[in-house]
Amino acid sequence: MADLKSTLKRKPEGSLRLGWTTGACATAATKAALTALITGAFPDPVEIRLPRGQMPQFALSVKTLGENQATAGIVKDAGDDPDVTDKATIIATVTPASPNSGIIFKAGKGVGTVTRPGLPLEVGEAAINPVPRRMMSEICKEICDKYSFPQDLIITISVPDGENIALKTWNPRLGILGGISILGTTGIVHPFSCSAWIHSIHSGIDVARAEGASHVLGSTGATSEDAAQAIYHLPDYAILDMGDFVGAVLKYLRHHPIDKLTIAGGFAKLTKLAQGEMDLHSSRSQVDKTYLWTIAKDAGLNQSFKDFIENANTAKEVLDIATKEGIDIATPIALQAKHIAEETLRDAPVAVEIIVTDRKGNILARK
């Protein structure tokens, strides 16, 4: 349910500034709103304790005290992480609930609602993940105990423009509709950690399994996804936003299998998988031109091309020269990529298919 979706940007040099999750911001806003509801005054800045003991302070951007309700808002700071929710305003409105209701979480405008099974929340629930719910519940108990106030509350989290922000996330494919998710397990955003992306892959597999999917598609990008979808026309919940994290898909399917996995990608990306790489991002793995020469030679390319291929700038150059010479190197790459994927899955009952495409989406090999 990650709120980070875009091609991963290259990590800048030097030390990076940490940020705060939407869950941490929602917790701080809830603390400020509940305190104001009881005392009539907003703590500003407001301090909270994160799951690992850190005590950050947050400035309030919204303070509204009404009859029997209070609202506080915080502008999220994602630090140096390229998070689409950076600078979004996370707003909490707290009102008393009926006696013995406990704490009730609601999705306000811009926060999504779960519509598909498989996520750690029931269908119909506000997309506020378990750890932020626990953080908010704990802070409410602490404040209510302090002021002898009934612990029966309605907490409504809203995010202005959250519906538009959600279109840049994977929420629609996961069946989270109407806005973003309120996330975070530690409260801290570690720039370029990739954990949000991998979490979304896992959530995507969970949703697909809960929907009874027998076939899922993981692609390295939109072009290869479109090529595979032209064949299969799979529903949204069966399409995994794999990106470069093929290892995250394979390792999770090892323990949470689905009958069939199609991996679709460009020639260069799947060459790296064929080499045994599990992270296909250009900053973390490279195409081995000597390996490509071995593939091309075994496929029948003349020895005279050895130096050219081993010194080529890109995998595309190698593919182009092989194609010009009538040599198919995409098929052996697909076969080896399939072998690596099957090895990574170990004995999991998952049938693997590999689709290799060119940059225009033409299918070069399908195995």
pLDDT digits (tens, 9 = 90+) for 84-141: 899 999 999 999 999 999 999 999 999 999 999 888 899 999 999 999 999 999 999 9
Beta bridge partners of 105: 155
Residue 8 lies in a domain: no
Average pLDDT of every residue of the chain: 91
pLDDT at 364: 97
Is the preceding peptide bond at 45 cis, omega within 30 degrees of 0?
Answer: yes
Across 76-80, 156-160, 303-307, least confident range: 76-80
Q: Are residues 263 and 178 in the same domain?
A: no
Across 9-23, 151-165, 218-232, 333-347, least confident range: 9-23
Q: Is the pLDDT assigned to residue 189 strictly greater than 70?
A: yes
Q: Give the end of a domain, one of 189, 218, 234.
A: 189
On the CB side of 88, how many CA atoms lie within 13 Å of its CA? 35
Q: What is the CATH number of the domain that holds 179?
A: 3.30.2110.10
Q: Is the pLDDT assigned to residue 12 strictly greater than 70?
A: no
Q: In the chain, how many domains are there?
A: 2
Q: Are residues 204 and 346 in the same domain?
A: yes
The mean pLDDT value for 247-276 works out to: 96
Q: Are residues 303 and 212 in the same domain?
A: yes
DSSP strands (E only) in the chain:
19-20, 46-47, 57-58, 62-66, 69-75, 89-96, 103-107, 110-111, 113-114, 153-158, 176-177, 179-180, 188-189, 215-219, 239-240, 260-266, 351-357, 363-366
Select the more confidently predicted residue: 239 or 83: 239
Residue 194 lies in a domain: no
Residue 55 lies in a domain: yes
Q: Are residues 237 and 181 in the same domain?
A: no
Confidence tier at 169 by pLDDT (50, 70, 90) = confident
Residue 14 lies in a domain: no
Q: Are residues 285 and 344 in the same domain?
A: yes
In contact, 281 and 244? CB cutoff 8 Å = yes
Across 2-6, 167-171, 301-305, 354-358, least confident range: 2-6
Q: Are residues 218 and 347 in the same domain?
A: yes
Q: Are residues 247 and 129 in the same domain?
A: no
Helix (H) or strand (E) holding 27: helix 22-39
Q: Are residues 210 and 316 in the same domain?
A: yes
In terms of residue numbers, what domain contains 305? 200-366
Residue 23 lies in a domain: yes
Q: What is the CATH number of the domain that holds 335?
A: 3.40.1050
Confidence tier at 195 by pLDDT (50, 70, 90) = confident
pLDDT at 82: 67
